[in-house]
Amino acid sequence: MATTLVLLGHPERRSFNGAWADASARAARDLGHEVLFSAPHDEGFDAAEGPAHYTDPPSPFDPLKAQEGTLPADVAREAARLRAADRLIVHFPMWWFAPPAMIKGWTDRVLAHGHLHDVDNRFDTGRFKRLEVLFCVTTGARANESGPDGREGNWQMLLWPLAQTFRYLGATVKAPVAVHGVHGYHTGAAQEALQARLSDTLARQAGLIAGWNDRANLSFNADSDFDASGRLRPDAPSHSPFIRQPG
Ligand SMILES: Cc1cc2nc3c(=O)[nH]c(=O)nc-3n(C[C@H](O)[C@H](O)[C@H](O)COP(=O)(O)O)c2cc1C
């Protein structure tokens, strides 16, 4: 049986992000998947890596070396969920042009060095070849502000560091999904229109999850696209301005 892990990066379970995550869980269950649900805020997960998490941390504290040892219980629990997963669906709002600290901290701590990756097991040789990842994101900004040429910055580009994180693990990353203009300051007709859009998003989530295999994957460079020093070869394709600036 396939396993889907839903990871919710929102402090309020009754938020739209919470409801959307529940819709993903329901949709995966309807497909016959075993569903695991991580809500690190509700589970008291501390997003900040540091020596307090370890019984015998290296001194001075070296996070990579600390992670190679026995995993803290909360990290071991999350890592076990991730290892069990065929699919990971991450739900979060954009906060300051990036995923919230809880999602960043979850990756900082859970994707532990020496356990989930190391220098011999990353990118093309990552341990998570089986894993497929989907980001479901909300922005407070409107679609035009959040898209190409938008003043908030292109939301898909803002997600590249998180996508690259899972690519580093060897996973496949699906084209992300966003709902824009989500905030509690609408009134009257605008509020009703937003509620209708949000309800529609929840109603369509089953179809989106059922269509998983038809959803495009993000493109990343293969290991062989880089020379021995780690530079992209001049004739290699460019998939991200984070690696090769256009022009
Ligand atoms: C700390 C913080 C930072 C935010 N930064 C952004 C941002 O950079 N871009 C944006 O579009 N919205 C931003 N917002 C708005 C949230 O994205 C928006 O409130 C959220 O998507 C609504 O989803 P929810 O109803 O599930 O909380 C921010 C909100 C907070 C609380």
* 228 within domain boundaries: no
Buried b (16+ CB within 10 A) or exposed e, 182-218: beeeeeeeeeeebeeebeebbeebbebbeebeeeeeb
Pairing verdict, β 87-93 and 172-173: unpaired
**What are the 10-residue block averages of pLDDT along the chain, 247 residues in total?**
98 98 98 98 98 97 98 98 98 98 98 97 98 98 97 98 98 98 97 98 98 98 98 97 90
Q: Model pTM?
A: 0.98
Torsional sign, CA 150, 133, 165, 168: negative
Q: What is the CATH classification number for the domain harbouring 139?
A: 3.40.50.360
Q: What is the pLDDT of residue 247?
A: 74
* 199 within domain boundaries: yes
Q: Kindly list the protein residues whose Cβ atom lies closer than 6 A to any atom of ligand 1.
A: 10, 15-17, 93-97, 138-141, 146, 152, 182-183
* 236 within domain boundaries: no
* 223 within domain boundaries: no
* 246 within domain boundaries: no
Ligand 1: nearest atom to the Cα of 137: 21
Quickly tell me which residue has 């290892």 as its tokens: 83
Ligand 1: nearest atom to the Cα of 138: 21
Ligand 1: nearest atom to the Cα of 15: 26
Number of domains comprising the chain: 1
Q: What would the two tokens of residue 90 be? A: 């991450």
* 235 within domain boundaries: no
Cα–Cα distance for residue pair 126/40, rounded to 1 Å: 25
* 234 within domain boundaries: no
* 130 within domain boundaries: yes
Q: Which domain range does residue 198 map to?
A: 3-216
Choose one of 8, 90, 139 to mutate for the ligand 1 pocket test, by most ligand atoms within 8 angstroms of C-beta: 139
